[in-house]
């Protein structure tokens, strides 16, 4: 069995009286691309925030790279934070910063290059990540408002990769993109996954993107993970007749997955 990189056990989330998660369990393994899919408003983003320590769950434990992330000393938390990158749903770039300074931000903030980070070193790393995500050197001086939706996602990805991430979290990487740009981004993510040997945990309602990238899937519905496992087992197994999964996979929405995993 390969190494576990993310482990969620008995997680519960309440907003006042609304219960978003009850007894959520999830395991992600090194090298895999795990896609969390499910109904809109089902708590996918919230779960990702709880996995990355941005939000504390009402109950349960989250271990990332072996550490209980909601019970860490800040120093340990910072050290751990250098080992993953996160791509937020809306890109979440700093609008007042140039592309260059957006990508440099985690390097400076987390001091990944040591306490007295050399500007030349930062420069080389920023330009490398920019090139890696298919951007041009001259884009470094632009501000987010001057970028297209696809470019914003690429810069956000470059920023997520600025640290030497071994684990990447993606929240709806293709949302808001036109189909052609979305498929280009899938291809870039697949290349990066292959080249860097990263583990990826992604949230997406774009099943074409899931079909292109993921090998494992977790279905979040009815406040729980109702299925977790290899995609082909979900597509070919009895679980495919679960009403929620059936609805998720039918019609044009699920076509890419059905075509990729015919049963
Ligand atoms: N900070 C918050 N306060 C109250 N309710 C929230 C908050 N964040 C999310 N929710 C609610 O939790 C549910 C799940 O939201 P979210 O995790 O964004 O779902 P998804 O990403 O699956 O679409 C929604 O009903 C949403 O309104
Ligand atoms: Mg969401």
Condensed to tens digits (0 to 9), the pLDDT of residues 51-73 reads 999 999 999 999 999 999 999 99
Based on the structure, what is the number of domains in the chain? 2
Q: Atom of ligand 1 at shortest distance to CA of 40?
A: 23
By CB atoms closer than 10 A (0-12, 13-18, 19+), residue 156 is: buried
CB neighbourhood size of 2 (10 A):
9
Q: Tokens for 80, please give them.
A: 């751990």
Q: Tokens for 256, please give them.
A: 């890419």
pTM for this entry? 0.92
Q: Do residue 68 and residue 96 come from a single domain?
A: no
Structural contact between residues 225 and 219, judged by C-beta atoms closer than 8 angstroms: yes
Q: Do residue 107 and residue 55 come from a single domain?
A: no
Residue 183 belongs to a domain: no
Instruction: Return the CATH number at 55.
Output: 3.40.50.300
Residue 178 belongs to a domain: no
Domain range spanning residue 115? 89-165
Q: Do residue 58 and residue 102 come from a single domain?
A: no
Q: How far is the CA of 47 from the centre of ligand 2 (A)?
A: 9
Q: Do residue 103 and residue 127 come from a single domain?
A: yes
Q: Atom of ligand 1 at shortest distance to CA of 172?
A: 21
Residue 172 belongs to a domain: no
Q: Angle at which helices 149-160 and 179-196 pack, to 10 degrees?
A: 20
Instruction: Give the closest residue (by CA) to ligand 1 atom 7.
Output: 15
Q: Angle at which helices 119-132 and 149-160 pack, to 10 degrees?
A: 130
Ligand 1 touching residue 45 (CB < 6 A): yes
Ligand 1 touching residue 262 (CB < 6 A): no
Condensed to tens digits (0 to 9), the pLDDT of residues 238-252 reads 888 889 888 888 888
């Amino acid at each position: 069995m390969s190494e576990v990189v993310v482990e969620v056990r008995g997680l519960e989330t309440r907003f006042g009286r609304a219960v978003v998660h009850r007894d959520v369990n999830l395991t992600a393994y090194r090298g895999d691309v795990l896609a969390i899919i499910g109904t809109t408003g089902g708590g996918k983003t919230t779960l990702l925030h709880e996995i990355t320590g941005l939000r504390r769950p009402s109950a349960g434990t989250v271990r990332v790279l072996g550490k209980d992330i909601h019970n860490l000393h800040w120093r340990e938390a910072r050290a751990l934070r250098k080992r993953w990158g996160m791509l937020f749903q809306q890109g979440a770039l700093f609008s007042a910063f140039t592309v260059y300074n957006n990508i440099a931000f985690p390097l400076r903030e987390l001091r990944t290059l040591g306490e007295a980070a050399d500007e030349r070193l930062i420069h080389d790393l920023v330009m490398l990540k920019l090139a890696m995500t298919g951007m041009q050197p001259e884009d470094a001086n632009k501000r987010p408002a001057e970028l297209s939706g696809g470019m914003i996602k690429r810069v956000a990805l470059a920023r997520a990769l600025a640290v030497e991430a071994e684990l990447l979290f993606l929240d709806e990487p293709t949302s808001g993109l036109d189909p052609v740009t979305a498929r280009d981004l899938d291809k870039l993510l697949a290349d990066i996954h292959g080249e860097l040997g990263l583990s990826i945990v992604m949230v997406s309602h774009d099943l074409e993107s899931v079909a292109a990238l993921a090998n494992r899937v977790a279905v979040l519905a009815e406040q729980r993970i109702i299925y977790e496992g290899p995609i082909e087992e979900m597509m070919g197994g009895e679980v495919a007749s679960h009403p929620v999964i059936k609805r998720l996979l039918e019609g044009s929405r699920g076509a890419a997955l059905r075509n990729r995993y015919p049963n």
